[in-house]
Amino acid sequence: MKNLQALIDWFEHLSPATVDRVPDFYAANAEFKDPFNEVRGTEAIARIFRHMFTQVDAPRFVIGSRFGSEGDEGDEGGVMLLWDFHFRTKGRRPQAICVRGASHLRFDAAGKVVLHRDYWDAAEELYAKLPVLGRLMRYLQRMGRA
């Protein structure tokens, strides 16, 4: 993808004001999938990002590494981005959380994302870090090792 760095910069500076730029980076019929969502189309993808801003405080992505064949148009392999997602929970006792994951991106001939697939372990990276649910998850992990 010719504009991979611009896409990474957009991810790292994503805000409610910049969510509307999804069509700048994603093809009209792009697919997006993560552990909670599976949608198609730029409006549906933008809706997921908008929803993120209502669910958590101060969300931000930090892209740590990238690898793949970003230079070949229409390449089936695409690019992998390794990222940390930082945010604070909402509520009476906000908690800072970091979720680590990866995004597999494939691009069309115009350099727009046609597939965005996020990989991260919701149980380990999210649920186990939440106060009440975390205790249950740690208990279940101990039971599985017994």
Rg (CA), the chain: 17
- Whether the per-residue pLDDT at 127 is higher than 90: the answer is no
Whole-structure pTM value:
0.80
Least-confidence region, from 31-35, 90-94, 126-130: 126-130
Contact in structure between 107 and 113 (CB atoms under 8 Å): yes
Q: What is the SS3 assignment for 10?
A: helix
Q: Where are the domains of the chain?
A: 4-120
pLDDT of residue 140: 55
Backbone angles phi and psi of 108, in degrees to 5? -90, 180
Token pair 């208990």: residue: 139
Contact in structure between 118 and 33 (CB atoms under 8 Å): yes
| pLDDT, average across residues 109-127 | 82
| pLDDT, average across residues 12-39 | 97
Per-residue pLDDT tens digits for 64-104: 999 986 555 445 669 999 999 999 988 888 889 899 999 99
pLDDT of residue 81: 97
| Helix runs in 41-130, H state only | 42-55, 122-125
pLDDT of residue 3: 83
Q: What is the DSSP letter of 50?
A: H
For the domain made up of 4-120, give the CATH fold.
Answer: Nuclear Transport Factor 2; Chain: A, (3.10.450)
